[in-house]
Structure 1
Amino acid sequence: MKILTVAGTRPQLVKVAPVSRELRKHAKEILVNTGQHYDYNMAGIFFEELNIPKPDYDLGIGSASHGKQTGEMLKMIEEVILKENPNAVLVYGDTNSTLAGALAASKLHIPLIHIEAGLRSFNKNMPEEINRILTDHVSSLLFPPTETAAENLKQENITENVVKIGDVMYDAVLYNTAIAEEKYHLEEFGVREKEYILATIHRAENTDSKDKLTAIFQAFAKLDEKVLLPLHPRTKHKLQEYGMGNLLDGAANIRVIEPVSYLEMLLLEKKAKAIVTDSGGVQKEAYFAKVPCLTLRPETEWVETVDVGCNRLVDPLEEDLAAIIQEFQPADYSKQLYGDGKASEKISREIIKFFEKEAACVL
């Protein structure tokens, strides 16, 4: 059996690592890296740190508008599928790489497997929301990570071959946290344990608004704690475009660093006093690390973290972000929201079962 996996961003590569380890015990995997995250620090180093197999195809798409980027990926992924003739195409999450892989498989009548199916923000202004909805509706085998995600699929009349399995990101965190603590140390980043706020800002809804970025950084500057900010290329570009360098220069407590590797990020998350983010994956990793999380978005796909009181949505234009960071006290980290850390093993077994069933039906 041959599975063609399509990935291209750093969160997807984190998920590829544990799933590929298990999948390759039972099947031949062809790995396609679209290059959606084209910066070495953003994605390239992940292959080394996580021992991800070298991609069989490195498409090198890079940055572009949504339409152009997705179109280029679709064209090149289709060529790979026609050449390799896989039994299935496997995609992760909700990026342009996900959508391109899904469309290519669907057009060529190749079964599509979607890991992280059923997530919904219910905000169609987010390109990720469109990507995940379209991908789910052309998928043949769907793996929602939570009960909420499975229920979302049911509400959209997607009920066949839906298997709630847990979250592969939890698998990755359990496997890699000890490695991260052994390899890296906080002294390298100029911070001390539980004496800094870790911040990641990159979503267009924040970076494309000068008012929002100003409010966010003004809130950071009010804090007594040091704010450690691995600066995303998009955010860096926008800060330069808006002429906000003076705001950063005037805030002695904001420490800007280059984007960090996955292992470095795990260490920084675990040792932080709190995390402020607009990332989806970081919200979950904060929960795994038992660290308070403030999410700078009006909604989240990971509603469970909010429901148990460990994550809080914040509007930096309408609320006092600095005060909320200081006052927020999480409730309960004890609930097993995202499975038992063995999702990758279960996904591999379910894929084998799916194709054995398909083969039996043909016979």
Structure 2
Amino acid sequence: MLLTVNAKKIISQLLSSAGITVNGNSPWDIQVHNDHFYTQALAAGSLGLGESYMGNWWDCQRLDEFFSRVLRSELDKKARRSLAVKGEVLLSRLFNPQSPSKAYRNGAAHYDLGNDLFQGMLDKRMVYTCAFWGNAHTLDEAQEQKLDLTCRKLKLQPGMHVLDIGCGWGSFAKFAAERYQVKVTGITISKEQAELAMQLCKGLPVNIQLMDYRALTGRYDAISSLGMFEHVGLKNYDIYMQTVHNCLSDDGLFLLHTIGSNTSTDYIDPWINKYIFPHSLLPSIRQIGKAIEGLFVMEHWENFSVDYDKTLTAWFENFSANWNKLKARYDDTFYRMWKYYLLSCAGSFRARKNQLWQLVLSKKGIEGGYRFA
């Protein structure tokens, strides 16, 4: 009992410093249903916070704003990591959790959950990366803006052969083939993605392959990688960049679209690692810079992190609106897990804890400088 009382006092004080009141009346305040929440959150940090939410020990009307306030106040730095989390970090440093033998298993854990889930959540093209909103009013419009901007940044011309590393359900490949008359080879390590991508791209000059990037060969006029680099892992950044360099024509462009971290680290949030993206990692500017040094010239770097907040919110709205169609396959705990994932990430981008970068790289530098219309 004394432990619970002390934990409650500590957690309440921490949250209060972020403007959050336990059982308060503001939308970002949390409502605690089970006092075990306090000891769980204190002992296991973000893992305990997420698991106790999944267990219905607490609720919050605006999870996104709760996390935005928590992260802006840097409560994550004040919370102590559990021994289990420290053990996970140690293992990631000793071994390569994104090795070829493990990559397919890591991918399947998320991307093979079921195409129905992602069809109910994403836009009509099934783009599972940040949309660029600009003047867009809908998610469909915002994703098309992003795809078109990506094609323009790569300076695609009819007849070019483009490689898409981490092609998902073929959204970029299909768009580029239709709008820019290019040939596209797309690779993914998700069986579910590959099968549906083949169907969606049927009749177009698009070749979808179930393949790890380390098995790539051949030369391409341009290379894109949208939302895949987060799964590469620190130990593999060098081989990833070397593979892209080997596959890119001397005068070609490589566009890297990735979530990024403000700090260099070798571990991911433990709750995200356990329940959403196993063995993923958000790269920092320094880590990316080290990996491209000696291989590429950085032509252009742009940040779209604010757009990801809006994108994740739109995904949750779609997911929630379609839940009645999905709940026959996914239980209530999954609903809470998925809600927590989407809205906690939205809050993280809102707090500017995470970034969304698009980089354009060349092998030798564009003569006269890089511009795109």
TM-score range, shorter chain: 0.3 to 0.5
TM-score w.r.t. length of structure 2: 0.33
TM-score w.r.t. length of structure 1: 0.33
Question: Which of structures 1 and 2 has the bigger CA Rg?
Answer: 2
